[in-house]
Amino acid sequence: MTLGHQSGTDKPKDECGVFGIYAPGTNVARLTYYGLYALQHRGQESAGIAVADGDRIQLSKAMGLVPEVFSADTIDNLSGDLAIGHVRYSTTGSSSPLNAQPLVFRYTGGQLGLAHNGNLTNVTELRSQLLSTGSIFQSSTDSEVVVNLIARYSQSTLEEAVMKTMIDIKGAYSLVLLTEDKLIAVRDPYGFRPLCIGSLGNGYVVASESCALDTVGAKFLRDVEPGEIVTIDSTGLKSAHVLPAKCRAHCIFEYIYVARPDSTIDNYNVNRVRRKLGHQLAAEFPVDADLVIPVPDSGTASARGYAEATGIPFEEGLMKNRYIGRTFIQPSQDMRDLAVRLKLNPVREVLEGKRVVMVDDSIVRGTTSGKLVAMLHDCGVKEVHMCLSSPPVIRSCYYGIDTSDEKELIAANMQLDEIRQSIGADSLHYLSLEGLLDIFDDYRDNFCTACFSGIYPVEVVKPKDTGKYSLE
Ligand code: AMP
């Protein structure tokens, strides 16, 4: 990932998807293409595929969506037995082809490709150390720092170099690495970002989410464990555990917003979790209303859950334009307003004269919900009760989720009733953090909830003068 710029502060701005495959006898480039297509929701800014054929690594990457980046010819020209792929997302204007992944480098061991999802929290310090001892960098990515460190440790085997690198780097990382004849998958000791393994014939597939395994016909085997290095080559699959985690800290926001509902992450299916969040929301805030409508798609499963639990009819009151991506470059407020209208349109015939519960997954700045409430009122909706399947987002994420700077987070700056007034809703209900964690029963202590609780598993210090973050 990279350091983006927003509101004058340096802040991580990427969510990404990674994919890796070892499957001799198949078209690995094509399967990676399909795998990335399944992970497109994790990143729409750039896409890339690197393929290894035993002798060399070939790379194709560019800015754009997966089907825009690769033509059939490009894919067919990438031949080999192994591949890795990456989709990258950034909401800022700082997007650059240089930051597209996979990164492919030459080092003493040969060629090395890397695709990274997550965000390192001690990258500034590591980069300065590397620069002071002669390293050069071509991008601002923390992923390049990882490759540099691996290259520095390359007197030993690649696995040992990766292990040594894992001791140096801090923060969130799910990595796939590629050599001419080997695939390596790594998950940080806290397990912040997801990563899972599947089997495909005699080969293996690794991916950010299980939906990508399903898409390429791979059979889900298991999640990569926090702190685990999985090596896959012609001798099979090997696993090594490097750093014992102090605790697990899976990102809870993956379940709320980021991941696809058909994915199962760390044994919890995303759709099931979201449905239960709806049940929980109904138990905490049973509203007297005529209809439950979701903000599609991220609010849909929870809205269904809310309707199931309350018995209030579920309706598709907002129609989503399927051809608008998940996000949008939104340089001005005008553009943001337009973006919401382009994306979602209310169905007047369903909504007019009704008391409506509108369910969304989260409020970040309040732009979307404010616009949607106004649109519903314009359609003659009598009452709008806004229900969120997450607690208020009060803190920024430094582990790979794009949440706004704290100054822009509406819940960091306003009380509940002020937020309600600002979005124009008749009532406003956020799921409690306890209610969210209850979904996970005995596993409840294994999540990072920093954006809701302010408790950061890997400590982040933000000096007041620069606004830049660093690790203590
Ligand atoms: P906002 O309009 O800033 O309040 O953003 C809230 C909307 O953005 C909700 O509909 C969410 O589904 C969606 N959302 C939540 N988190 C993110 C994120 N990290 N990146 C992009 N969109 C998000």
Query: If you measure from the C-alpha of residue 331 to the centroid of ligand 1, how many angstroms do you get, rounded to a whole number?
Result: 16
* 419 shares a domain with 348: yes
Atom of ligand 1 nearest to the CA of 364: 4
The reply to whether omega before 102 is within 30° of 0 (cis) is: yes
Q: CB-side exposure of 102: number of CA atoms within 13 Å?
A: 29
**Which parts of the chain have pLDDT scores under 50?**
1-13, 91-93, 328-329, 463-472
| Residues 348 and 203 grouped into a single domain | no
pLDDT given at position 353: 98
Q: Which residues of 417-430 are buried (b: 16+ CB within 10 A; e: fewer)?
A: eebbeebbbbbbbb
Q: How far apart are the first and last CA of the chain?
A: 21
User: Ligand 1 within 6 A of 360 CB?
Assistant: yes
Do 236 and 139 lie in one domain? The reply is yes
Q: Using one digit for the tens of pLDDT, what is the confidence trace for 227-267?
A: 999 999 999 999 999 877 779 999 999 999 999 999 999 99
Give the C-alpha separation, 181 to 179, whole Å: 5
Question: 378-428: per-residue pLDDT in tens?
Answer: 999 999 999 999 999 999 999 988 877 899 999 999 999 999 999 999 999
| CB 180 less than 6 A from any atom of ligand 1 | no
Per-residue pLDDT, 136: 87
Strand partners, 178: 113, 183
In a domain? residue 23:
yes
Note whether 281 and 136 are same-domain residues.
no
* 9 inside domain: no
Q: Average pLDDT of the chain? A: 90
**How many residues does this entry show for the chain?**
472
Contacts of 137 (CB under 8 A, 6+ apart): 127, 130, 131, 144, 145, 148
Q: Please state, in angstroms and rounded to a whole number, the distance separating the CA atoms of residues 406 and 412.
A: 6
Q: Is residue 103 part of a domain?
A: yes
Same domain, 107 and 205: yes
Q: Which two tokens stand for residue 53?
A: 């054929």
The dihedral region occupied by 453, where left means phi > 0, alpha psi between -120 and 50, and beta the remainder, is: alpha
> Do residues 282 and 192 both lie within one domain?
no
Indicate which residue's Cα is closest to atom 5 of ligand 1: 364
Q: Which two tokens stand for residue 39?
A: 């992970």
In a domain, 203, yes or no: yes
Q: Ligand 1: distance of its center to the CA of 375 in Å?
A: 18
* Whether residue 377 sits in one domain with residue 290: yes
Ligand 1 near 403 CB (within 6 A): yes
Using a 6 Å cutoff on CB, does residue 257 contact ligand 1?
A: yes
Same domain, 196 and 330: no
Mutate to test the pocket of ligand 1, among 341, 364, 419 (most ligand atoms within 8 A of CB): 364
- Whether residues 332 and 231 share a domain: the answer is no
- Structural domain includes residue 37: yes
Last residue of a domain, one of 198, 221, 251: 251
Letter for the amino acid at 463? P
Nearest-CA residue for atom 20 of ligand 1: 402
Structural domain of 434: 271-441
Q: Which two tokens stand for residue 22?
A: 């070892």
Q: Tell whether 320 and 384 lie within a shared domain.
A: yes
Q: Does residue 365's CB lie within 6 angstroms of at least one atom of ligand 1?
A: yes
Residues 244 and 285 in one domain: no
pTM above 0.85, yes or no: yes
For residue 129, report the phi and psi dihedrals to the nearest 5 degrees.
Answer: -60, -45
Query: Is 370 a member of any domain?
Result: yes
Ligand 1 mean position, distance from CA 363 (Å): 6
User: 423 CB less than 6 Å from ligand 1?
Assistant: no
Q: What is the pLDDT of residue 14?
A: 59
pLDDT at 372: 96
Distance 81 CA to ligand 1 centre (A): 38
Measured in angstroms, how far is the CA atom of residue 364 from the centroid of ligand 1? 6
Q: Which atom of ligand 1 is nearest to the CA of 410?
A: 4
pLDDT of residue 402: 81
Q: Which atom, in ligand 1's list, is nearest to the CA of 336?
A: 2
The CATH number of the domain holding residue 369 is 3.40.50.2020
Asked if residue 8 is part of any domain, the answer here is no
Q: What is the CATH number of the domain that holds 42?
A: 3.60.20.10
φ, ψ of residue 276 in degrees (nearest 5): -65, -35
Q: Is residue 469 part of a domain?
A: no
Q: What is the domain count for the chain?
A: 2
Residues 91 and 180 reside in one and the same domain: yes
Is there a catalytic annotation at residue 379?
no
